[in-house]
């Protein structure tokens, strides 16, 4: 009889505490993984743009090449702005998804 009671208590503990905690932990881990991946992608892209711009400055030899680099710099600044805006939207979307999933678990 005590074995059945122990089994029942264990099952109740599992369903009341362990399973929800595991679900929350899995949700947190998934969100963190996606967030870190998005941040690394953003940093990698911005670093690539920055290095490309730095390399462009090495090619300046005369007024025409300076003009070309300045024009490229302006375009790169616009591209970075768009990239940052897109990355911010992606992170906001991940956060909203996380909140929705958290509310479902609650």
- Print pLDDT tens along the chain (106 aa): 688 888 887 778 777 777 888 888 999 999 999 999 999 999 999 999 999 999 999 989 999 999 999 999 999 999 999 999 999 999 999 999 999 998 888 7
pLDDT attached to residue 71? 94
pLDDT attached to residue 7? 81
CA pair distance 43, 63, nearest whole angstrom? 32
Q: Is residue 106 a contact partner of residue 25, using CB atoms and an 8 Å limit?
A: no
Which residues have CB under 8 Å from 80's CB, separation 6+?
46, 49
- Residue 81: both structure tokens together: 């702005």
- Residue 33: both structure tokens together: 């993984």
CA pair distance 41, 45, nearest whole angstrom? 6
pLDDT attached to residue 52? 92
């Amino acid at each position: 009889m005590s074995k059945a009671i122990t089994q029942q208590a264990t099952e109740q503990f599992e369903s009341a505490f362990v399973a929800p905690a595991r679900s929350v932990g899995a949700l947190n881990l998934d969100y963190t993984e996606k967030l870190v991946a998005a941040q690394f992608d953003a940093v990698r892209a911005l670093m690539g743009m920055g290095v490309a711009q730095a390399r462009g400055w090495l090619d300046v030899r005369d007024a025409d090449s300076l003009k070309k680099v300045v024009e490229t710099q302006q375009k790169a600044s616009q591209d970075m702005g768009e990239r940052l805006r897109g990355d911010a939207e992606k992170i906001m979307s991940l956060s909203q998804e996380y909140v929705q999933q958290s509310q479902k678990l609650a």
